[in-house]
Structure 1
Amino acid sequence: MLRRNKISEGRVLSDMKEKQQRYEALVHAFHADIYRYAYWLVKDKSIAEDIVQETFLRAWRSLDSLKEQQAAKSWLITIVRRENARRFERKQLDTVDIDDVSVIDDTAHSESSTEQRDLHRLLGGLSEEYREPLVLQLLFGFSGEEIADQLSLNKNTVMTRLFRARNQLRDAMQRQENQRGRQNG
């Protein structure tokens, strides 16, 4: 009886060590990408860090359900998206007294940050059905097929949405440049 317990205990410890190694490899390989995606979603460092932490906690709990290592990045991105959605489910909006709010003038930014802000604004102006595939392609370098798997869509649908998203973004940038030209001209 004692020998059987030692064998079972050894197997359990070995399984736990293997799971810990798989988890550490997962975190090491994808933490930066997952944080970048979370930050893109929420535009706030501390919230993005919280979402990433929750994502990897859920990944640890469900690590045994990850059968294909090639799907790890898509799996983690799905968890990030769900964690972000959960954030809104449990969010309680704070009320603020308008007299206690101070207004900050942040117009003294550099030109590059202005361009980045404009690009973010233009990306934000795209409908989600176009924005999400484009971000997955630009930030993570996913192929059309990987994006289709990630979003549970047909590959042709994803490719069409990517094409339309790029065209809408290009048109919006041209309109913005034309307006600046008229204002400065």
Structure 2
Amino acid sequence: MFNFGRNKKSESSVNSDMLSKQRRYDSLVRALHGDIYRYAYWLCGDKHIAEDITQETFLRAWRSLESLKDNKAAKAWLITILRRENARRFERKQFDYSDIEQETLEDSFSVSTEDNAEQHLIRRQIAKLEVEYREPLILQVVGGFSGEEIADILSLNRNTVMTRLFRARNQLKDLLDEPQVRGQSNG
């Protein structure tokens, strides 16, 4: 006769595997949530969108957690997922364009503290960089990635990344040295 009853040993193994996956995922979220959120915020510049992208990133990470073989590569793996999720956001969204310049909108809110003013100024200047320079710079400064890691994340040659980082820093320095920018930062 056939035994249609549950196999206690396989049920126990499944529960153990699920518990192990949950623990691994929880430790991943605890360790990297702040870094992933900061990077998402730098990409989109909006707190709510950054929260959504971060949440979607971790949801996708849960679904494919078994594909992460090396825990040391977790941060780069999550950044890659986040970049793809951010790109999906643009594929889905229909933009309403207006005559108002984005910079005008950004300038319309007041900044309360000197630190916030400085961060806002630097953020605006970084946003002026072309994406090919801005993205590696943000990965390095916000994400803390090395040139080699950035090359892997962006699927570029390491020398290309290092050149872009060099140019990005020089362009940012030039933007920050402009007389009207210096005047804003000094009050």
- Global fold match (TM > 0.5): yes
What 5-or-longer segments of structure 1 have no aligned partner? Answer: 97-102
Structure-2-length-normalised TM-score = 0.83
Structure 2 unaligned blocks of 5 or more: 99-104
Alignment CA distance shift 1:46-1:67 (3 Å): same
TM-score, normalised relative to structure 1 = 0.84
2:143 maps to 140
1:51 partner SS: helix
Q: CA deviation at 1:83?
A: 1.0
1:72 aligns to 2:74 (yes or no): yes
Deviation track 1:1-44 (CA, whole Å, cap 9, x = no partner) reads 57971111111111111111110011011000001111111111
Q: What is the identity, as a one-letter code, of the residue corresponding to 1:156?
A: N
Structure 1 counterpart of 2:17, which letter? D
Report the CA distance shift for 1:23/1:119 in structure 2 as closer, same or farther (over 3 A): same
- 50-59 vs 172-181, which moves further: 172-181
CA contact (8 A) 2:127 2:134 kept: yes
Deviation of 1:64 after TM superposition, in Å, equals: 0.7
**Partner deviation per Cα, 1:100-145 (whole Å, 9 max, x = no partner):** xxx9953564444333222111101111111111111111211111
CA distance in 2, matches of 1:144, 1:163: 11
Distance 1:95 1:136 in 2: 29
Which residue pairs with 2:51 in the alignment?
A: 49
Equivalent position of 1:23 in the other structure: 25
Distance 1:112 1:20, change over 3 A: closer
SS in 2 for 1:140: coil
Cα pair 2:111 2:117 within 8 Å, conserved: no
How many residues are aligned here?
Answer: 176
Structure-2 change in CA distance of 1:36 and 1:107 (3 Å)? closer
Give secondary structure in 1 for the equivalent of 2:93: coil
Shift of 1:95: 9.1
| Structure showing greater relative contact order (alpha-carbon pairs closer than 8 Å, 6 or more residues apart) | 2
Q: Note the alpha carbon deviations across 1:130-183, whole angstroms, 9 max, x for none.
A: 1111111111211111111111111111111111111111111112458749xx
2:128 is aligned with what amino acid?
A: G
Secondary structure in 1 matching 2:109: coil
Q: Name the % identity.
A: 62
